[in-house]
Amino acid sequence: MEEPRLASLSLTHVHYNPADRVSYICAWLALVPQGLCIVYATLIWSTREVEIMLMFAGQMSCEAVNFVLKRYIKEERPLAMHGKGYGMPSSHAQFVTFFSLTLSLFLLFRHTPHPTETHTPFSLPQRALLSIAALAGAGAVACSRIYLNYHTPKQVLAGVAAGAVYAVFWFWVTSCLRRSGWVEWALETRLARLARVRDLVVQEDLVDSGWVRWEERRRRRKRAVDATRKAR
């Protein structure tokens, strides 16, 4: 019997010019959305923060909007990439724009961490710089799509616009959910309690999460060691 033809898993099958160093960097930038999905999954599993879950839900619904828009507009990619799906709007540009703008809105308007005895959280200017860095990173990913000829400038700009509009819309939706008490209600459900979902990151720096408990445990261990040495 004839052997079946093997297929290539296209999830990370990025085309680039191996003789062009910039093209090589752009190929790595094309993997940023996949990397961010891993970051989302890791943070959701390790922190159980409802704010991160809400952001991920917005990210996935933004992807659904891109899926619908592409199949409604049906605009082809540049000639070099014809046959690789529709190109309007750029899903990469929309993905990273939503992520970076949503993160910026959170850091600047919702995140109000309080200093503790052991940690001083980022100040507002520092959070602003972090937001600028996130937006610059999104810009690099968006530009890489043009450089690799996966999208036209118009398709990338459309993706940026769609991602920005949806980010503002989703931030408004989650703000309404918080003000109306729906988030607090969801946190009190049996499922959320079993999963240990919490809502601390709005007022607590993730770097400081659990640090006080760790320091207290370390001091108790040190006191126990010192007491053992004195007893000898």
pLDDT digits (tens, 9 = 90+) for 51-64: 999 999 999 999 99
Sign of CA dihedral 168, 173, 177, 183: negative
pLDDT tens-digit series, residues 112-160: 877 766 667 778 888 899 999 999 999 999 999 888 888 899 999 999 9
Q: CA 232, CA 229: separation in Å to the nearest integer?
A: 5
Residue 6: band (very low, low, confident or very high) from pLDDT cuts 50, 70, 90: low
Residue 9, Cβ density class (10 Å: 0-12 exposed, 13-18 middle, ≥19 buried): exposed
User: CA-based angle 132:57:114, to the nearest 5?
Assistant: 55
- Say what the pTM is: 0.82
pLDDT tens-digit series, residues 98-125: 999 999 999 999 888 777 666 677 788 8
Helix axis angle for 124-147 and 153-179, nearest 10°, is: 150
Count other C-beta atoms under 10 Å from residue 107's C-beta: 18
- Whether 173 shows a pLDDT value over 90: the answer reads yes
Q: What is residue 12's predicted lDDT score, i.e. its pLDDT? A: 67
Locate the domains of the chain by residue range: 14-231
What average pLDDT does the segment 28-54 reach? 91
Q: For residue 151, which of 100, 71, 75, 64 has the smallest C-alpha distance? A: 75
Q: CA 214, CA 148: separation in Å to the nearest integer?
A: 47
Count other C-beta atoms under 10 Å from residue 171's C-beta: 20
Sign of CA dihedral 79, 71, 140, 161: positive
Percent of the chain predicted with pLDDT > 90: 47
